[in-house]
Every structure is written in structure tokens, then in C-alpha cells.
Structure 1
Amino acid sequence: MGPADRLQILFAHDEAILRINTRLRAEAESFEPARKQTPQLLLESPKSHLNSLHIPASEYKTAYEASLSDPAPPSPHDGTFCPITALSRFPYHHIRGELMQRVASKFFDKGQFWDRPWDLYYIHAPPRLGGRPLLVVPMALARKLLKEINLACDCSLSLPTEEERGLVLRFNRDGFPQPTLLGQSSDRTTKDSLEATIPQSCTYNQSLWDQETYLAFEKMMEAAASSAKSKSKSKAKKQRLRFRREIEAGDAIRRAQCYLGLRADPTDIIDCKWDEQSAPESEPPQLASDKPAPYPFMSEPIFISLDVEVNERCHTLVTEVGISTFDTRDLIGIAPGPLGENWQSRIQSRHLRVQEHAHHVNSLYVRGCPNNFEFGTSEWVAADKVSAMVQNSFAHPTFFDGPDSQLRPLVLVGHSLASDIQYLELANVPIINASDGGSQFSDRFDTAKSWMIICGKTETQSLGAVLGELGMTGWNLHNAGNDARYTMQILVAMLVKHSLDSQ
């Protein structure tokens, strides 16, 4: 049994595959289309192939003129390919600045990309991805283009090789289906005509695949399909996400103002000193730095700011924890003072140092100063006791209220809070309860994001930069105890200043 007979048995159910010209027979042999028994493998030249399918030659004239007039064989490949559509948009998606314009003008903007020889291959996507054919070219041709670009523009561009980027497709893996040669093109019209000749989607029989191999192939094809998509949707999504975060940060600022009596509680306005409905002609109470807060403290919460310092070479080793608490009940009848200085004096601060890591002082990226706590005396604690110490600070006796000793609302404060939460989890101090997915904190407040919104900036700033813009001085930053204290002071100062400015 010869190769053609074996292929006939294997693919008898798929006429499209049987009509592929495998060139197993000599071109001199003629194919007889009148024989209708079982579809035979096409083994002739492209011209006789068209006749055998009874497809009007006019539909394929343009597509095959180049290959008939230029019989050059396709370039060799090593099993790696690149999606040609994604490659045609390479500078717009992967280069920035002035270089992008230079590359695009010289090689892409006016269709120059298509006016070069391309060996076109195709492969169908898995059914879950729609089954549409993906047009690919050998990686050698993509590298050749980039080499020309690098020489012409004096740069060093290369294709990103990460599989999730979808630009380098490695089909040279066991069990992966292989792209099928479609033809050669040297202009956009020929490429489009050749693409129109791709047969209908083939059906992947997953039962014949190793599951791991099939999933790997599907993942690669999904990345390839998305690599050519316009990035405008992604930018719009990022913009919507940014807007949502700004709205959330603005809401957090208003809630914090209510907690400190700087704004009326919107959920219980009748109990406030000023009721818009009952006194429409009167002015709302005004905040003054020399008078107590004009409104009741909504929920009377306790603010707790945390800062964590870790070994700069191993972030799983927590070296310091700073804790500052700020009880709104301590502010009753107290005027805030300029920038809330009178309120700031009511902050209670602690500095915990881990005994096992006492010898380590950060110096590579920041200048650590664990010995210079400015607001009290540092406390030594064993590494296995850090979690209990921090948790106990959340349960001070004065934080409970009522006959049932219910814990009063706790508000977590931090500067770039997400990183502090991550480091706390490394120290086995969970902010989110694993049992019910809830948090022991009723609210959170990120001073970095809030200051960015208040000032109308586009990026967050460091703790030291915010202190400077508020006219405050911070000593020995990157000491966890000091940073936690300054974070709480920033909270008070920015809210008082913002409330006064808003009036």
C-alpha cells in the first residue's frame, strides 16, 4: 500500500483534505474528475487542481498568476510561524514614541508591508475559538523584515517571544497540527485572493488528542487570534477602569469626611445639626480650624494605619510593622487646628521590630532606619508572635462598646494600601478572613490615591512627596512606625484642608 492509498483511508471522511495537492505523483499523470466513487488525493499541478474542482478559473486567476509565473519554492521554516495580520500592525501595537512613526512611515503606512514576498500558510482555529482560519508566515520571513527595519532605522527591534503575546507560534511540538501552505504573494490583492481559497473549517476530533496537548494548542491559537485585534477596546477598558477607581476614591474621601464630622452623614441627615429640608434658608454649618467639627462623627470609627517593612532581597521576611490608631471619640469638642494639628496629636503609635531579623537594615533601594522611631519606644517581638501582636492591636478594650461589647467600626488606612496588605499576609496577618471571606475592617482608605484625586494628578506620589506638598516634615522615613504615623497625619491634614478649600 502506497502513501496515497494510506492517506485515502485516513481521510476518506474529509473531501477537502483529499483534494489537497500532495505532489506524490508525477505532474504528467492526469486526474479524471468524472470518476465520482471516493474522492482521490490531488497529485497534480495547481492548474489541473483547479479544473478538477470545477471552480471558475476567474475566481482564482489573480491568486495563482504569481505562482504560475514564478515557480520559486517556499522558504524553509523551522516550525515557528507568525500571524501575518498581527505582524502587519507591529509598530502600532509594540513601538512607542518617535521610533514608531519612523518605522511605520518607511515599512507599513502605505502598504509597503504587503508589497514584499510572503509565503502564506493557514491553520484553522479550534471550534471553541470559532474555527476560522489563521493566516501565518514562517518566522524566518518575519525576522528578515525586522532585520531590514533595524538596519534602516538604526534600532534593535524584535518580536516578543512570550506565548501569551501570540506573535511567535511554535508548531514544532509533538501532537500539534501543522499549518498548510497556501501560496506566495507579493501584494495585498494576491494575499486576499489566496485567502479566499482556504477551504471550510476542518473539525478537530478531541478524542484523538492528548488533552494536555490540545489545551496547549488551543491556548496558543487563542493568543494568536487576539494578537491582531485592535487595542482601542483595551484602552477603553483601561480608561473605564481608571474612571471607576477615581469614583471609588472620591467616595472614600467623602465617607472619611463624614467619619471626622467634616461632612453631614448622608444616611441620617435629620440627626445632623443642619437639615436642608427643615431650614432651606439657613446656611449649612461651616468648618473652622479653631472650632470643633460641625457635624457628628458618622459611626464613630477607629482609624488604624499600618506600614510594613520587609527584607529588600526577600519580601517574605517582615522586619518591622508600624501601627497607629486614631479614635474619633477622642476628637469630641476638640478644634482640629491648622491642618488638623490638634487632632494629629491624638494619634497613638507603635513600632514592632522582629527579633530574628534585627541585623538586617535595607540599603539597596531605600535607606532603612529601624533604630530611629520618632514617636515612642520600639517593641521587640518574635517572628512567630508578630501576627498575634498586630491582631491584638485591632482589639484594644476601648474599641468595644455597648452592653454586648460589640467591636466598633475599624477603618484601615495605608499609603499605597494594596502593598501593605500583601506584606501583612506574608506576616500571617490576614485582613480578609479566610473563613467567611469578610474583613474585620468596615472600610479602607488609601492616602496615596486620595491625594492624587484631591490634587487632580494622574499618578500617585510617595509618602515623603505628599508630606512636602502639605507643608509637613517627615523624619526618618522607611521606618515602619514613622511611616504609619505620617500616613495617619496625612489622612487628617488632607481631609481638613480639602474640607476648608471646598467651602
Structure 2
Amino acid sequence: MKPKKSKKSSSFYGEYTPLPPTSCEPDPVKAQQLLGKTFPELQGLEVGELSEEGMTFVSWDLALQYPQMFIGNRNRPKATPLFEDILHGHIWDFFYIYSPKDLAARPKLFVPTKQFGRFLEFVNATLGIVLTIPEGEPGENFLVRFDTPRPRYLGRCTSRSDFHAFPDRAPPAKDQDLCTGLSPDAIERLLAKLNPNVRSSTRRRNAKDKKQRIAAEQRRESLHLVQRCLGLRPAGGLSGPGDCSPPVDIHGTAAATYTDAVFASIDIEVAEQSHRTILEVGISTFDSRRIVGITPGDAARNWMPFIQSHHLLVYDYRFMRNTKYVRGCPESFNFGYMPMLADLANRVLAILSDCNKPDHDDAAPDDKGQQRPLILIGHGITADLDFLANINVEPAKIKGFARCIDTQDMHRSWHSLPNSRSLGTVLNDLDLAHSNLHNAGNDAAYTLQAMLALAVCARLSELDEEKST
């Protein structure tokens, strides 16, 4: 592998080459040579003298935080004492700059990047480890350049006593420290350089905000997809573009939009003390072909009779009950036949593979034998997918599988909620009667009811909001 080319800054005073890896053997001779480095180019500067243009700096506060931020647990105990004694025997040329937002506060202290790089080399030679200025975005805080205003020289320090006298030696703030004439953006950039921790936390916060926006958009897209498949929103395909035709009137007759999707909800109950022990599997299916021309009614109640439900009870564990965290009720299936079986994986695959077959419904259009789109629904579906994986069931390998939808996401998108709600809470919010939750068959059926009701109620809310604006 070819070594990476090092990068240098253009100024003589600010030039810094990122450290190449050192050997893993201590080098006391080199360590002594580094202690004797005097930086003659910085000698003779007067207090208050402007730093050279293009010079690169690192905040002294950040230099002291280096062990906690950039040294792994293995090397940190060895390196920490050297950082605690960072002022002893090493030459440091301190520069200062006032914050334009608080001139009464003490100025921020900076040291040349080249001196901090020298110190890292000393630590490496002393301990036989490899410390460098970090690459990429974190390293930018160690290579800070100032335009206007530039840091001013404070003095040279070789001991802790010298350092403690520095804050009183800084000249008072002057008019130029107010940064008069700088744009607000330029001042914000300066403040970010003066407060590298704030700069880093701002980046982290921006990254977190971006991640949250993307997640919210994905939840909204899931809700819209279900609405398209049910004819509640102009069709755009399973991942089609935004709406471009008039909104569907869900108060009248059901839309004739034909998406041909089949929904299958799944819920799995496992033993509390062993999550690899599956006690029950509930599967409910809903065929969108059945509702063409049928008005959804209040909270989609007219569509709910078309849900078909299955409750699979694992025969070997039929007497087990969860009682510690939830109260299980495997015998209390509300929706019909409950087979007991041992061949669980094959039965699950058979139900999911059969519900979207092209010949499943004689009223189907000419689909030329193609498997219909299968959308898997769950309330907190990630956990159920993990449980399925434990019995080697992979929905993505089922013919026609399109994607998974989480009713928690649909509910959060409808109400713009920061956190997910339980299935019981969602059903109460939708005013849907329910009983005997934590029975896998019941939960799968109620999850599919919640999906239909959420699609209708959220679309109604959207249309009402559009009318009021």
C-alpha cells in the first residue's frame, strides 16, 4: 500500500506536516532532541504583535483535551501523565484573541500547530506509541487559520508558573477586537474557531437534526405509500413521486385507483427469559382488491372485515405464559381458528407466500401470472424480523416482497410525535376496540386494523388542513 501524501500549509510560520507513524519502540534520544527545539522564528515577538498571516493554531483548551478525545483506552493511561505535565520543559508560544461577543472575558489562548505537533512527537518517542493530529473534519480544529482579526502574541512559556501569569499580561481589548465591519457570518465563523468544542457540538447537532429530518421523511413516505395502495392518495407506484393529481374524496365512494398490493401483518411473542424461544406467531392478511368500490367508512371500519387472521401456537411451548413484563394469553385468540404446530417456519412461509399469488383472487385483472406486491406490516417490526431470522425466515426472499412498513412510524408521522407509542395506545387514539393484547394473533390483526385506520384518519386530517389554509 502506498503511503498517503502529507499536506502542508503555505506559510513558513504556519507550516505543519501531519506526523508520520513512528516505530513502536521508545526513542529517548529523539525525545531529548525534541525537548531542545527552540523555534527561533518565533523569538523576538513583542506582546500584542499580530501573528503571521496563514499561521495555523490549535486552541490550548483543545490541546489539553486531546487525551480524552483522541487517545484509545490502551494508550491513554501511559500518555495522560505527559499531557498533565505538558508545560514543563517544553517551549510554548502563546497567542491570544478576544471574543467579539464578550470583550470583558479573558481572551482565548492558542499555540502554533507546529509546537503541538512537536509535543506529540515527544510523547511518541518517549512511550513508543503513535499519536497524530487526527485526519478529516476533527483535525480541522488543530489547523485553524485566522483572517480578521488574527491572534496576537502573548509570550513564551516553559513552566506552569509562567503560564499562570499569562492571563494578567494580556493587553486590554481594543476597538479592532469588536470586529466592526465583519458580517454576521464571519463573526459566527470566528466564534466557532474560538470555541472548538462548540464547533464540534454544533456539527454533531446538525448531523443529528439531519438524521431526524431524514427519518421523519421516511415515516411520512411510508404513510403515503399505504394511502396510495389503498386508493386514498393518487397512485404513484410503490416508490413513486409526490402527488400530482387532485386529492381523493374519501367521504364518497372508494377510489377506483388499483394498486394490487397485498398487506400481511406479523406479530411474534417470545419467551421473556429466552428471546430465541418463539411461543406464538400471528399473521393477518389484507387484499386491496377486495375494497375497490367500497367506502372506507369511519376509521376504515368498512374495510376491516376483509382482514384474514392466523394464530400459530408452537405446540412444544403451548403451556408457557409470559407474566413478568407482559401478561401473555396464547389461548385467547379473538379471530377464529388457531392451529397448533411444530413446523413453524414452513407454515409462516406458506401463509406469506400464498396470500399474494397471482391466482389468489378470481376477480383479478390480467396479471399474466406475476406475483403481486407484498407489503409486510408490523408494530415495531424490527424486533419481529429479528425473531423470524432466528427460524431462518427471510421475508425479502418471498416472491413479490416489496418492503416493510411500521405502524409506529405511520402513527408518529400523523401526529409528528418524537417517540413511538404502544399498540394499545395507538388503538385507543384511533378509537378502535381491542382486547387480549399480547396474543400474537390478536396483535397482528389489530396492527392491520391500525394500519387501515391510520391511513384513512391521517388522510382526512391532511385534507381538512388543506381546506383551512
| Alignment TM-score > 0.5, same fold | yes
1:499 equivalent in structure 2: 459
Aligned partner of 1:364 in structure 2 is: 324
Alpha-carbon distance, 1:486 to partner: 0.4
Question: What letter matches 1:415 in structure 2?
Answer: H
Displacement of 1:267: 6.1
Q: 1:303 to 1:366 in 2, by over 3 A?
A: same
1:299-338 → structure 2 map (5 Å cutoff): 300-338=260-298
- Report the equivalent of 1:239: 209
Give the superposition deviation at 1:173. Answer: 8.9
Report the AA paired with residue 345 of structure 2.
S
CA, structure 1 residues 243+19, in 2 after alignment: closer, same or farther (shift >3 Å)? closer
Q: Give the 3 Å change call, closer, same or farther, for CA 192–294 of structure 1 in structure 2.
A: closer
Most deviating of 331-340 and 237-246? 331-340
In the alignment, is residue 410 of structure 1 matched against residue 374 of structure 2? yes
**Unpaired stretches in structure 2, ≥5 consecutive residues:** 1-21, 48-57, 96-108, 140-195, 239-243, 360-365, 464-469
Alpha-carbon RMSD: 4.6
1:256 aligns with 2:160: no
Q: Which has the larger radius of gyration?
A: 1
The question of whether the paired residues in 2 share the 8 Å contact of 1:322 and 1:349 is answered with yes
Encode CA deviations 1:373-393: one digit per residue, 9 max, x unaligned. 1111322121xx211111100
Superposed displacement of residue 425, structure 1: 1.1
1:451 Cα deviation from its structure 2 partner: 1.0
Residues 220, 410 of structure 2: 8 Å contact kept: yes
Structure scoring higher RCO (CA < 8 A, sep ≥ 6) equals 2
How far did 1:403 drift? 7.3
Matched letter for residue 350 of structure 2: N
With normalisation by structure 2, the TM-score equals 0.60
- 1:287 to 2:261 alignment: no
Measure the CA separation in 1 of the matches of 2:86 and 2:264: 66
Distance 2:304 2:115 in 1: 75
Q: Distance in 1 between matches of 2:421 and 2:349?
A: 29
CA gap 1:332/1:195 in 2 versus in 1, 3 angstroms: closer
Going from structure 1 to structure 2, the CA distance change for 1:374 and 1:219 (only over 3 Å counts) comes to farther
Q: TM-score, with normalisation over the residues of structure 1?
A: 0.57
Deviation at 1:445, TM superposition (A): 1.9
Question: What corresponds to 1:450 in structure 2?
Answer: 410
Q: Of residues 53, 72, 75 in structure 2, which corresponds to 1:171?
A: 75
Give CA-to-partner distance per residue, 1:479-503, whole Å, 9 cap, x none.
1111100000011112122233333
Kept in 1, the 8 Å contact 2:59–2:110? The answer is: no
Aligned residues: 341
Pairing 1:472–2:432 present: yes
* Distance change >3 Å, CA 403–CA 234, structure 1 → 2: closer
1:345 positional shift:
0.9
How do 1:94-243 and structure 2 match up within 5 A? Answer: 135-136=66-67, 169-171=73-75, 182-184=86-88, 192=110, 197-198=115-116, 200=118, 202=121, 230-243=200-213
Q: After TM superposition, give the deviation of residue 170 of structure 1 in Å.
A: 3.3
- Hey, what does 1:400 align to over in structure 2? 358
Gaps of 5+ in 1: 1-10, 22-40, 62-83, 90-113, 115-119, 121-133, 138-164, 206-212, 269-274, 277-282
Q: Deviations over 1:94-149 (max 9, x none)?
A: xxxxxxxxxxxxxxxxxxxx9xxxxx7xxxxxxxxxxxxx8549xxxxxxxxxxxx
Q: Equivalences for 1:341-380 in 2 at 5 Å?
A: 341-380=301-340
Alpha-carbon offset, residue 333 of structure 1: 3.1
Structure 2 vs 1, CA of residues 196 and 348 (structure 1 numbering), >3 Å: closer, same or farther?
same
Deviations 1:9-40 (A, max 9, x none): xx9xxxx974644xxxxxxxxxxxxxxxxxxx
1:428 aligned to which of 371, 392, 411:
392
